[in-house]
Amino acid sequence: MTLARLDAQSVARRASAEVAPGSVVAVSGDWSTAVADLVPAEKGVWFLRAGGTLSDLPISAADAGAVLRGGNVDLSILQAAQVDSNGSFAGYHAADYPGPQGHAGLIDLAGARRVVTVLPHTDADGSPNIVNSLTLPPDGVRCVDTIITDVAVFRVADTGLILTELAPGWSAEDVRTITGAAVTSAPTLREMDFALPPGNPTSKIYADGPSAIADLPDGATVFIDGFGGPGGMAHYLLISLRDRGSRNLTIVSNTAGIARVVSFGTPPGHTAIDHSVLVENGQVAKAIASFPVSPSVSRPSEFELAYRRGEVDLELVPQGTLAERLRAGGAGIEAFYTPTGAGTLIAEGKESRVIDGREYILEHGLRADFALIRAHRADTRGNLVYRGTSRNFNAVMAPGARVTVVEVDEIVQPGELDPEAVVTPGIFVQRIVRRPDGFTGYE
């Protein structure tokens, strides 16, 4: 008697059970992309598709790669041609062509926190697709956690493949017979479960600034936007951080608090809120910045005075390099070479190389524990629309922090923002705070 196998839709339905509410999931291949259509919208899942969309947001191929490399993808569900007992996988490969093939995008998906493969258990000729060692060129090495086929589910362990679930009507011995690798049955071996995980994502909206940063610890690295004027800074969150009192902070910003002394755009009789409120309060140990001092010798900034007293450290970074270090950190690029600063004091102590006759110095990507950023509008999923100068460093800082907290003027429901106007997708935003009515960026 021939045992019935699951169809592609049923395999996708089983793969959907791996998707947690609110998670970020990359999908590739017909069997896996069907998962995105099976998970209800209220689960709040972000689906990154090979076609260049992040759920309903259009994104570039560069942004999609950055999402994958930057450690933002919780789960990849990809269609494989072969998987071996060590968790390595190969995508489609024509047997009569030994060279590179058109599935290189799968290599990116191998970098997710968890990788699930979906595939037919056997090829059209009956040969097993789950093997001891790949016979096709690998697209990911030792990265697969779970294998879902049309007859079974396996967990990849250090000791090999563990059979955890069976398709209806199948036995463990039936599966072993058509598997090209050694298999151990789990003590809890059971029939496949197609149910989605219960629950919906946790709300990203916080009641106020203090609660949104209540866990920002001493010694943290914090991204904070800032230009010559007060525009674009998360003033309410800055005051909340001052009042919280976290100390020994490393702040990363274009400036280290010069809006107060420059007074550009500040109404007469007012003082701009900027990084100075943290420096005055003795909370800053170091700044990584491009413009840490006042343009006027007669009006030094609080950071400048503290630096002269030896109370704070400084890492001076050219503005373009700072922007690229922030972008690289968020995109999972550890370091890069740039010609900016070669032969100057900026290059001291840094590795350098001559490429095509020009000297380049090595700069490292920046990541932070927290980012305190400013935007104009957010929806409840964290998608952000900026206004004016608030887009400058805020947008590039958001992806590079473990926790990104955004201060906005208005919070709307999903679907109320124009997708083409969204600059920062909500996967980079963990917490949202509405600026209180009547609050301004001045004291």
Give the residue carrying structure tokens 């298999």: 183
3-state SS, one letter per residue, for the chain: CCCCCCCHHHHHHHHHCCCCCCCEEEEECHHHHHHHHHCCHHHCCEEEECCCEECCEECCHHHHHHHHHCCCCCEEEEECCEEECCCCEECCCCCCCCCCCCCCHHHHHCCCCEEEEEECCECCCCCECEECCCCCCCCECCCCCEEEECCEEEEEECCEEEEEEECCCCCHHHHHHCCECCEEEEEEEEECCCCCCCCCCCCCECCCHHHHCCCCCCCCEEEECCCCCCCCCCHHHHHHHHHHCCCCEEEEEEECCCHHHHCCCCCCCCCECCCHHHHHCCCEEEEEEEECCCCCCCCCCHHHHHHHCCCCEEEECCHHHHHHHHHHHHCCCCEEEECCCCCCHHHCCCCEEEECCEEEEEEECCCEEEEEEECCEEECCCCEECCHHHHCCHHHHHHHEEEEEEEECEEECCCCCCHHHCCECHHHCCEEEECCCCCCCEC
- Would you tell me how many other CB atoms lie within 10 Å of the CB of residue 406? 28
pLDDT at 228: 66
Q: What angle do CA 89, 12, 331 make, to 5 degrees?
A: 55
In terms of Cα–Cα distance, which of 43, 42, 46, 36 is closest to 16?
36
| The model's pTM | 0.92
Buried b (16+ CB within 10 A) or exposed e, 123-144: eeeeebbbbeebebebbbeebb
User: Which residues have a Cβ under 8 Å from the Cβ of 99 and sit 6 or more positions away?
Assistant: none
CB 423 within 8 A of CB 388: no
pLDDT at 259: 83
Q: Which tokens belong to 142?
A: 């030792």
Residues 197 and 77: their CA atoms lie apart, in Å, by 16
Pairing of strands 221-224, 368-374: parallel
Q: For 404, left (φ over 0), alpha (ψ -120 to 50), or beta?
A: beta
In terms of Cα–Cα distance, which of 159, 103, 105, 182 is closest to 136?
103
pLDDT at 196: 86
Residues 231 and 234: their CA atoms lie apart, in Å, by 9
pLDDT at 230: 73
In terms of Cα–Cα distance, which of 312, 207, 217, 293 is closest to 255?
293
Give pLDDT tens digits along the chain (443 positions). Answer: 578 999 999 999 999 999 999 999 999 888 888 999 999 999 999 999 876 788 888 888 888 888 999 999 999 999 999 999 999 999 865 555 555 555 556 888 888 999 999 999 999 899 999 999 999 889 899 999 999 999 999 999 999 999 999 999 999 999 999 999 999 999 999 999 888 888 999 999 999 999 999 999 999 999 999 876 677 899 999 999 999 999 999 999 999 988 888 876 777 878 889 999 999 999 999 999 999 888 888 889 999 999 999 999 999 999 999 999 999 999 999 999 999 999 999 999 999 999 999 999 999 999 999 999 999 999 999 999 999 888 889 999 999 999 999 999 999 999 999 999 999 999 999 999 999 999 988 88
pLDDT at 361: 98
pLDDT at 420: 94
Which domains does the chain carry? 8-191 (3.40.1080.10), 209-434 (3.40.1080.10)
Residues 112 and 115: their CA atoms lie apart, in Å, by 6
pLDDT at 99: 52
